[in-house]
């Protein structure tokens, strides 16, 4: 039997350390820890899928909390069943000891309690994901009403920059001269030339 840890955060600037520390304390070998920095809305995650392919009968998957496994109610239930019923592996959720399939004694009561807890926590995880999306949408709408602009800022060209670009475009100077004057490479020169010409035409 092998013990694996699975950790997840939603974005690259979030920290995995709390989950990693919990796995270390549990005694999981570092080489058996898989993690993804991706949304929990589905299970199309590279390292989660690598973990699933490694699982054998009797192995154990440890997660810190159910929302680290995922945030989509139906997908969590489906993956849970795949791991426990199809692959015959076990799952332990550290923050909710009731969700530990190793403890199941086959009784109807224990199975019912475990299933109910799983469904409730899965629902809470998805509901929180939807709330986060709603709060982000409301924040963006409020910012737009205040005049905040989103997206890549528009290019602002100095008169000197435009003069050099125009000199190159009309053949007064070479590409090398334009590149040296602006400290830009060939591709960038053509990019800005197209932008300036498009602006002038409009």
Residues designated catalytic: 10
Q: Please, is 66 exposed, middle or buried when counting C-beta atoms within 10 Å of its C-beta (0-12, 13-18, 19+)?
A: buried
Smallest CA-to-CA distance from 37 within 61, 14, 19 is with 14
Distance CA 150, CA 36 (A): 28
Distance CA 59, CA 61 (A): 7
DSSP 100: B
What is the residue whose two structure tokens read 């000197």? 160
What is the biggest distance separating any 2 CA atoms in the chain, rounded to whole angstroms?
87
Q: Please, is 70 exposed, middle or buried when counting C-beta atoms within 10 Å of its C-beta (0-12, 13-18, 19+)?
A: buried
What is the residue whose two structure tokens read 């469904």? 119
Order of strands, edge to edge, in the sheet holding 3-9? 33-37, 3-9, 60-63, 90-93
């Amino acid at each position: 039997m092998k013990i694996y840890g699975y950790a997840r955060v939603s974005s690259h600037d979030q920290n995995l350390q709390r989950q990693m520390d919990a796995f270390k304390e549990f005694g999981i070998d570092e080489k058996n820890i898989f993690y993804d920095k991706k949304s929990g809305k589905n299970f199309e995650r590279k390292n989660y899928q690598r973990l699933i392919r490694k699982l054998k009968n009797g192995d154990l998957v440890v997660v810190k909390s159910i929302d680290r496994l995922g945030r989509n109610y139906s997908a969590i239930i489906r993956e849970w069943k795949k791991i426990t019923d199809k692959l015959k592996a076990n799952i332990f959720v550290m923050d909710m000891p009731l969700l530990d399939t190793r403890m199941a004694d086959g009784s109807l009561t224990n199975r019912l309690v475990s299933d109910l807890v799983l469904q409730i926590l899965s629902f809470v995880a998805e509901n929180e994901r939807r709330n986060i999306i709603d709060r982000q949408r409301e924040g963006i709408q409020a910012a737009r009403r205040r005049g905040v602009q989103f997206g890549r800022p528009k290019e602002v060209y100095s008169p000197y920059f435009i003069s050099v670009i125009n000199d190159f475009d009309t053949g007064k100077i070479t590409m090398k001269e334009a590149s040296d004057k602006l400290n830009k490479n060939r591709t960038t020169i053509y990019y800005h030339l197209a932008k300036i010409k498009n602006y002038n035409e409009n």
